[in-house]
């Protein structure tokens, strides 16, 4: 290979190198953001489930117990008339 | 689809085994394993005909825990059930277990009901009925979470009819006990945070109906096992035993009447029942004290024929020893052994420029904590500031001994936020969810060992707040603490003194940060400054604060003059020859007021310095510490702190000088205020951030 060809090849490699380094830097930033988002999500979740953890309650397991679905249906059934009464009393109040 | 395995340990199972195999096959398990320990009858052939995988072991290798662990290791089911060779499952047995495990992921082990056979004697049938009805009489699955909880026999678990979640069984394993390995497992299960369930529908027909002597020998074995497993010793109280026998006899009679036994049948059973209950008490007393009986007597009384001195000469010993059953699930400091087994995880290949990344992910590995822990407070304060700089922080609690096993992650996080600072970071317990980090940071010597096993890190560093080997007398712990500094971790040290030690004695790379002061809490409060008050950090439970020396110095001072001495740091006041006032474990507010009112502060450290002198200085209170340790490296030789020789007389001299020499007092006070103003937690966090980047830079080179 001529010296001119070698120089051109070196330049190509340097350019490729710079592109790859740039890509690594981008991926590093992405990885950092992912770690940050994952940690934030876990922290938010821990904030939400504090009382469940405090009482050692695993709702997924609890809702698989016999009667849990019926209990939930009962609550929903009670909730509807309760809301109706609350809304009615609010309307009267206003 | 949940896979199931059923395991039956067998020895000379006889005709009953054939029934058991048939009943088990009807339940359609995915796998049936029979472990035979030297049957001389047709047991092995019967098992093979029932399509069981047969594992044959010599009788000498049998152990209730050991053999079941062996079978569990071979089993492939998600649920592994154990029954005995005389326990026949009733229809629906296996499906009931599977249903219970599928409904509640926290159940690690379950047991079912034992039903009596037609020919079972009334006292056994009655006891079985009553015992299992105590768990739940309405047929529903119930769970238990601790052996200490209220309720019916919370520690009960019987491998005559039990099922285990495979991963739990393999993780915990049965202890290698001659008997009661199931009850010991229940303890270990709870300690690991799992639930135990009673599944009434998972019933077996199983009753030990033996002739009288065989019954007594069996009870002897059971109580010996119970003693070996959990240390139970049956009280030898004849009067109480007689009352128990009478009461049980009355219950037997009532049960027989309810089950329509004829008068003749009742008359026949009553003497046997009385002998049974009385004999059981005697067998229990003897069995739970078996280790005190000669081997020949033990063998005679045991159904298993087991005596303390084995016939096997290889197991005989010339000296008399007391066998001790395993009581721990995790060996103390097992993380050291784990590291030797698993080795140090490789670090990720360095990436150019990683040390200058704008946002780092720092995974901070902490040991368990208590409210008021100063070391943890420093960690959390600094990493709160690191978060505020834009970095991502995660907290990983390493708790191999389960000191905080009752606190789930969200509770640990809340405690950090309420008892220390408002960290945003999530808290992970253990390393099951580990996902790597730019820098993994150990914060105490015990956390170094598990941290070294964590993969996916660009660098590892060590947040060194003190020279921890000095916390121990010469011991394995002190050597492990020393070795923790020799693991090639980049040390981020809480004083130049520590950093120098890390470099010179341990060959570690090190950077320095200075402890901060909370300026919003510690500042001169508007209270009159007294001229006679010494505030002494006398925390005797922390030997590195040299409280014996401090108390001698105060005794010397008291001999020379009248002074008001206020001691704080421990809930119990130290004993002394001089009068003083005790502030106990003071709040920060109380300390700030004390420092603003006192004349001289005294805080002695024979390892790294405490945060107390800076907090005193921030309130304008001149302070005395010891020369020759770490204080000079932080405060300088003639800086804000009065440095004393290691002598009670010298310390008393310094206290007197600060009380009497107003000009010296003013000079130290002003220098102290200046020093404290320059040492914020912001500044400390910046230094720690530089240390984290230096750890990454060291990898790039």
Q: Any idea what the CATH number is for the domain that residue B171 is in? A: 3.90.550.10
Distance, in Å, from the CA atom of B640 to the CA atom of B647, rounded to the nearest integer, reads: 20
CB contact under 8 A, B105 and A36: no
Taking CA–CA distances from B101, the nearest residue in chain A reads A61
Q: Is B642 on the interface with A (CB under 8 A)?
A: no
Taking CA–CA distances from A67, the nearest residue in chain B reads B140
- Region B280-304: mean pLDDT is 87
CB contact under 8 A, A53 and B427: no
Task: Specify whether B105 is located in the same domain as B177.
Answer: yes
CB contacts, 8 Å: B351 with chain A: 24, 28
CB contacts, 8 Å: B358 with chain A: 29, 32
Task: Specify whether B52 is located in the same domain as B141.
Answer: yes
CATH code assigned at B342: 3.40.50.11090
- Region B4-9: mean pLDDT is 95
CB contact under 8 A, A32 and B408: no
Q: Is the pLDDT score of B287 beyond 70?
A: yes
Closest-CA distance, B169 to chain A, in angstroms, reads 20
Within the 99-128 window of chain B, which residues sit less than 8 Å (CB to CB) from chain A? Answer: 102-106
B414's tokens: 């809340």
Taking CA–CA distances from A61, the nearest residue in chain B reads B104
Kindly report the average pLDDT of chain B as a whole number. Answer: 91
Distance, in Å, from the CA atom of B355 to the CA atom of B698, rounded to the nearest integer, reads: 9
Reference B283, options B217, B211, B227, B235; nearest CA is B217
Task: Specify whether B496 is located in the same domain as B573.
Answer: no
CB contact under 8 A, B145 and A56: yes
Check residue B311 and give its pLDDT: 47
pLDDT range class, residue B207, cuts 50, 70, 90: low
Q: Is the pLDDT score of B508 beyond 50?
A: yes
pLDDT range class, residue B316, cuts 50, 70, 90: low
Q: Quick check: is B699 in a domain?
A: no
Q: Quick check: is B217 in a domain?
A: no
CB contacts, 8 Å: A53 with chain B: 407-411
Taking CA–CA distances from B405, the nearest residue in chain A reads A56
- Region B583-609: mean pLDDT is 95
CB contact under 8 A, B394 and A39: yes
Strands B490-493 and B457-464: parallel
Mark which of B280, B311, B342 sits at the end of a domain: B311
Task: Specify whether B147 is located in the same domain as B179.
Answer: yes
Task: Specify whether B162 is located in the same domain as B266.
Answer: no
Q: Range with the lowest mean pLDDT among B130-134, B565-569, B641-645?
A: B130-134
Q: Is the pLDDT score of B208 beyond 90?
A: no
Check residue B310 and give its pLDDT: 46
Of B145, B357, B394, the CB nearest to A32: B357
Q: Quick check: is B615 in a domain?
A: yes
Task: Please give the DSSP secondary-structure letter assigned to residue B529.
Answer: P
Domain that holds residue B569: 533-679
Higher local confidence (pLDDT), B694 or B236: B694
Q: Quick check: is B613 in a domain?
A: yes
Q: Is B49 on the interface with A (CB under 8 A)?
A: no
* Tens digit of each residue's pLDDT (9 = 90 or more) over B526-543: 999 999 999 999 998 889
* Tens digit of each residue's pLDDT (9 = 90 or more) over B374-399: 899 999 999 999 999 999 999 999 99
Check residue B585 and give its pLDDT: 87
- pLDDT > 70 fraction of chain B, expressed in percent and rounded: 97
Of B103, B352, B413, the CB nearest to A61: B103
Task: Specify whether B350 is located in the same domain as B419.
Answer: yes
Distance, in Å, from the CA atom of B96 to the CA atom of B162, rounded to the nearest integer, reads: 12
CB contacts, 8 Å: B104 with chain A: 58, 61, 64-65
Q: Is B579 on the interface with A (CB under 8 A)?
A: no
Task: Specify whether B285 is located in the same domain as B175.
Answer: no
Task: Specify whether B417 is located in the same domain as B491.
Answer: yes
CB contact under 8 A, A28 and B357: yes
B17's tokens: 């085994």
Of B106, B360, B393, the CB nearest to A61: B106
Task: Specify whether B399 is located in the same domain as B435.
Answer: yes
Q: Quick check: is B691 in a domain?
A: no
Strands B31-36 and B490-493: unpaired
Task: Specify whether B478 is located in the same domain as B540.
Answer: no
Q: Quick check: is B527 in a domain?
A: no
Higher local confidence (pLDDT), B558 or B15: B558
CATH code assigned at B543: 3.40.50.2000
Check residue B312 and give its pLDDT: 55
3 state DSSP class of B618? helix
Q: Is the pLDDT score of B87 beyond 50?
A: yes
B/e letters for B554-580, b = 16+ CB within 10 Å, e = fewer, are: bebbbeeeebbbbbbbbeeebeeeeeb
Q: Quick check: is B685 in a domain?
A: no
Check residue B389 and give its pLDDT: 96
Closest-CA distance, A72 to chain B, in angstroms, reads 17
| Contact present, B454 and B434 (Cβ < 8 Å) | yes
Mutation target for B interface from A20, A26, A44, A56: give the one with most B CBs within 10 A. A56
CB contacts, 8 Å: B436 with chain A: 35
Higher local confidence (pLDDT), B1 or B332: B332
* Tens digit of each residue's pLDDT (9 = 90 or more) over B341-375: 999 999 999 988 899 999 999 999 999 998 888 89
Distance, in Å, from the CA atom of B71 to the CA atom of B69, rounded to the nearest integer, reads: 5
- Region B72-94: mean pLDDT is 93
Q: Is the pLDDT score of B243 beyond 80?
A: yes
DSSP string, B334-358: HHHHHHHHH-PPPPPPP-TTGGG-S
Q: Is B422 on the interface with A (CB under 8 A)?
A: no
Q: Does the model's ipTM exceed the 0.90 cut?
A: no
The model carries a pTM of 0.62
Q: Quick check: is B221 in a domain?
A: no
Q: Is B578 on the interface with A (CB under 8 A)?
A: no
| Number of domains comprising chain B | 4
């Amino acid at each position: 290979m001529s010296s001119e060809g070698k120089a051109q090849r070196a330049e190509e490699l340097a350019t490729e190198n710079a592109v790859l380094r740039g890509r690594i830097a981008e991926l590093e930033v992405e990885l950092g953001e992912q770690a940050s988002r994952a940690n934030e999500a876990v922290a938010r979740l821990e904030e939400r489930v504090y009382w469940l953890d405090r009482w050692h309650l695993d709702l997924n397991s609890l809702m698989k117990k016999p009667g849990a679905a019926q209990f939930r249906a009962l609550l929903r059934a009670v909730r509807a008339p309760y809301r109706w009464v609350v809304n009615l009393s609010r309307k009267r109040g206003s | 689809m949940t896979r199931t395995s059923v395991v039956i340990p067998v020895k000379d199972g006889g005709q009953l085994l054939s029934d058991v195999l048939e009943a088990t096959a009807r339940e359609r398990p995915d796998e049936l394993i029979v472990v035979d320990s030297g049957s001389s009858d047709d047991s092995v052939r019967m098992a093979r005909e029932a399509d069981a995988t047969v594992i044959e072991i010599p009788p000498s290798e049998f152990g209730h825990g050991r053999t079941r662990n062996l079978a569990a290791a071979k089993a492939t089911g998600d649920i592994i059930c154990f029954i005995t060779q005389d326990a026949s499952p009733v229809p629906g047995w296996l499906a009931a277990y599977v249903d219970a495990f599928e409904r509640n992921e926290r159940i690690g082990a379950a047991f079912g009901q034992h039903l009596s056979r037609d020919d079972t004697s009334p006292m056994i049938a009655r006891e079985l009925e009553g015992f299992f009805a105590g768990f739940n009489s309405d047929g529903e699955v119930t769970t238990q979470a601790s052996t200490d909880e209220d309720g019916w026999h919370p520690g009960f678990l019987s491998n005559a009819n039990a099922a285990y979640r495979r991963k739990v069984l393999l993780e915990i394993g049965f202890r290698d006990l001659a008997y009661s390995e199931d009850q010991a497992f229940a303890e270990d299960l709870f300690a690991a945070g799992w639930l135990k369930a009673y599944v009434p529908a998972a019933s077996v027909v199983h009753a030990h109906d033996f002739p009288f002597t065989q019954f007594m020998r069996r009870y002897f074995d059971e109580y010996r096992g119970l003693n070996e497993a959990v240390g139970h010793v049956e009280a030898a109280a004849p009067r109480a035993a007689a009352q128990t026998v009478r009461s049980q006899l009355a219950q037997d009679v009532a049960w027989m009447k309810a089950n329509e036994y004829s008068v003749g049948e009742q008359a026949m059973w009553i003497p046997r029942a009385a002998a049974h209950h009385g004999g059981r008490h005697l067998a229990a007393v003897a069995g739970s004290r078996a280790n005190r009986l000669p081997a020949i007597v033990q063998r005679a009384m045991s159904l298993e024929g087991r005596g303390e001195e084995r016939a096997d000469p290889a197991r005989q010993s010339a000296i008399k020893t007391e066998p001790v059953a395993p009581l721990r699930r995790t060996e103390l400091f097992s993380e050291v052994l784990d590291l030797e087994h698993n080795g140090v995880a490789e670090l990720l290949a360095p990436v150019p420029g990683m040390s200058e990344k704008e946002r780092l992910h720092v995974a901070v590995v902490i040991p368990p904590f208590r409210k008021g822990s100063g070391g943890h407070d420093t960690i959390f304060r600094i990493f709160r500031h690191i978060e505020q700089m834009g970095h991502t922080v995660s907290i990983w609690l390493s708790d191999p001994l389960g000191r905080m096993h009752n606190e789930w992650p969200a509770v640990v996080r809340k405690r950090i936020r309420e008892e220390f600072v408002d960290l945003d970071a999530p808290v992970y317990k253990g390393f099951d969810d580990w996902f790597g980090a730019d820098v993994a940071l150990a914060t105490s010597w015990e956390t170094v060992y598990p941290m070294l096993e964590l993969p996916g890190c660009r660098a590892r560093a060590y947040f060194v707040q003190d020279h921890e080997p000095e916390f121990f007398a010469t011991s394995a712990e002190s050597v492990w603490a020393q070795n923790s500094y020799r693991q090639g971790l980049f040390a981020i040290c809480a004083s130049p003194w520590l950093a120098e030690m890390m470099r010179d004695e341990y060959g570690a790379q090190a950077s320095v940060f200075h402890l901060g002061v909370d300026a919003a809490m510690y500042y001169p409060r508007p209270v009159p400054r007294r001229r006679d008050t010494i505030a002494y950090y006398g925390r005797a439970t922390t030997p590195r604060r040299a409280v014996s020396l401090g108390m001698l110095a105060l005794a010397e001072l008291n001999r020379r003059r009248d002074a008001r001495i206020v001691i704080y740091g421990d809930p119990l006041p130290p004993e002394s020859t001089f009068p003083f006032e005790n502030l106990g474990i003071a709040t920060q507010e109380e300390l700030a007021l004390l420092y603003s009112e006192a004349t001289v502060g005294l805080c002695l450290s024979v390892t790294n310095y405490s945060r107390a002198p800076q907090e005193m200085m921030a309130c304008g209170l001149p302070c005395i510490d010891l020369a020759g340790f770490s204080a000079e490296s932080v405060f300088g030789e003639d800086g804000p702190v009065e440095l004393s020789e290691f002598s009670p007389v010298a310390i008393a001299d310094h206290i007197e000088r600060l009380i009497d020499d107003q000009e010296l007092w003013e000079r130290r006070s002003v220098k102290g205020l200046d020093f404290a103003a320059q040492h914020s937690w912001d500044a400390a966090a910046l230094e720690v951030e530089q240390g984290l980047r230096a750890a990454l830079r060291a990898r790039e080179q």
